[in-house]
Amino acid sequence: MSPAVSIIVPVYNVAPYLCQCLNSTGALGREDIEVILVNDGSTDDSGVICLEYANRWENVRLIEKTNGGLSDARNEGMKVARGKYVYFLDSDDWLVPGAIDALYRFAEENNCDVVQGGFYYAFDDHLELDNRYLSEKKPPFALERQVAMRELIKNNYVKNFAWGKLYRSDIVKRHQFPVGKYFEDSYWQHSVIDECNRYGVVPEPLYYYRQRQDSISSSIGSKALDLFDGYEERLRFIQLNYPELISLMADRLWRTAFTYYRYSNKKEFRDALNLITAQYEPFFTWKLKHSIIYLLSRYESQYIRKPFLFLLRAYEFLTVKRLKKIKLIVDEKI
C-alpha cells in the first residue's frame, strides 16, 4: 500500500535537533506516512541518528548522499517519494501534534492541491506568531489559483516557504528546486501554485520554525542577492502568465530590495536597489513611485539618506504592529 503522505527531511549537521524533529511527526508505526531522511553529507552525529531511526521505524527511508545543499537534498527526496502528498520538514524544526493529519484532512475534504499551515517562530525562550494579517482562530479556507498567486506576491499570509505545506506530489515532482541557490523557495513556489487549482490555508499554527543565529535567513549578507534574483525570475513568470499582477510583483521586488538595503546599508544592496529601480520602474505602481520612501531613496547624498533611514526605523519601531509573543511552556522547551 502506498502511503498517503511522504515527509521529506533534508539533514545536514543538526544532531542536537534531529530527534525532536522526527519524533514530532507522529509517524511511528503508521503505514499511511513515510519519512524520507536525506542525509546530505553530515559531518556530525546526524548520520548516526538517521540510521538509528531507519532501523527502528519501518516507515523511514534513508538516503545517503554527498553534500549538495538543501535544494539538492529535497530533489533527491522527491525522486523516491511514494505518497499522494509531499510535506517538506526542515530537520531543525518540529511539528505540533496532529499537524500532518490536519492538513491531509483539509486537502482531501476540500480538493486542495496545496495546503499551508500556520507556524510559530521558535526562539530559545519564547514563540512568536504573526497574526497581523490572519488570526490563528480563523477557520481554514481555500483560495482559487489566481487569488493564491496574488497573495503569494503580497506575502502577507500565503508564504513563500516550501516547508510547512502539504503538496500534491505529482505537481511538485515536476518542479525541481534550483541547486546552488540560497532562498531557493523564491524560484520555485510560484511555479507550483500555477498548477494548483485550489490552495488551502489552515491558520492554526502547526509548525515550529526554529530561529538559529547561524541559519541562512537570520543574517543579512550577499546570499540575499539570490532572493532578488529569484524574485526577478518570478516577475518574468508573472509578466508572461499573470500580466494583471505585474505591478504588484514589481513593487514587491523593489520593497524587498529596499528593506535589505535599509537594514544593512551595504553597497552591494544599494547597487542592487539602483539596478532594480532602473530596470523595473515602468512597472511600479503610482502609489509606490509617489511614496516618500521611494522618492527619498533616490538621493545619493548620505546627508539626506542616512537621517531618512534612521527616522524610518524609529517610526516603524513606534507604529508597526508586533508579532504576538508566547512564553514557552516547559514541555515545549527547545
pLDDT in tens, 252-276: 999 999 989 887 778 899 899 999 9
- Which pLDDT score, from 0 to 100, does residue 217 have? 47
Q: Which amino acid is at 91?
A: S
Q: Classify domain 5-216 by CATH number.
A: 3.90.550.10
- Which pLDDT score, from 0 to 100, does residue 215 have? 54
Average pLDDT, the chain: 91
Reported as type and span, the H/E element at residue 94 is strand 94-95
Residue 319: pLDDT over 90: no
Coil, helix or strand for 293?
Answer: helix
> Residue 292 class from Cβ within 10 Å (0-12 exposed, 13-18 middle, 19+ buried)?
exposed
Residue 325: pLDDT over 90: no
pLDDT in tens, 98-125: 999 999 999 999 999 999 999 999 998 8
| C-alpha to C-alpha distance for 19 and 276, rounded to whole angstroms | 43
Reported as type and span, the H/E element at residue 130 is none
Residue 193: pLDDT over 50: yes
Radius of gyration, alpha carbons of the chain: 21
| C-alpha to C-alpha distance for 132 and 182, rounded to whole angstroms | 27
Domain boundaries, the chain: 5-216, 220-298
Q: What are phi and psi of 10, to 5 degrees?
A: -70, 135
| C-alpha to C-alpha distance for 298 and 273, rounded to whole angstroms | 10
Of 166, 31, 157, 168, nearest to 102 by C-alpha is: 166
The answer for residues whose C-beta is within 8 angstroms of residue 142's C-beta and 6 or more apart is 110, 112, 198, 199, 200, 201
More confident: 214 or 41 = 41
Residue 128: pLDDT over 60: yes
| C-alpha to C-alpha distance for 190 and 230, rounded to whole angstroms | 10
Model confidence, pTM:
0.91
* Residue 208 banded pLDDT, cuts 50, 70, 90: very high
The answer for residues whose C-beta is within 8 angstroms of residue 220's C-beta and 6 or more apart is 260, 263, 264, 266
- DSSP class of 328: P
CA 41 to chain centre: 23
* Residue 301 banded pLDDT, cuts 50, 70, 90: low
- Which pLDDT score, from 0 to 100, does residue 304 have? 63
| C-alpha to C-alpha distance for 70 and 182, rounded to whole angstroms | 9
Cβ atoms within 10 Å of 52's Cβ, excluding its own: 15
With beta carbons less than 8 A apart as the criterion, state whether 53 and 37 touch.
yes
With beta carbons less than 8 A apart as the criterion, state whether 180 and 92 touch.
no
> Residue 148 class from Cβ within 10 Å (0-12 exposed, 13-18 middle, 19+ buried)?
buried
| C-alpha to C-alpha distance for 265 and 269, rounded to whole angstroms | 7
| C-alpha to C-alpha distance for 279 and 329, rounded to whole angstroms | 49
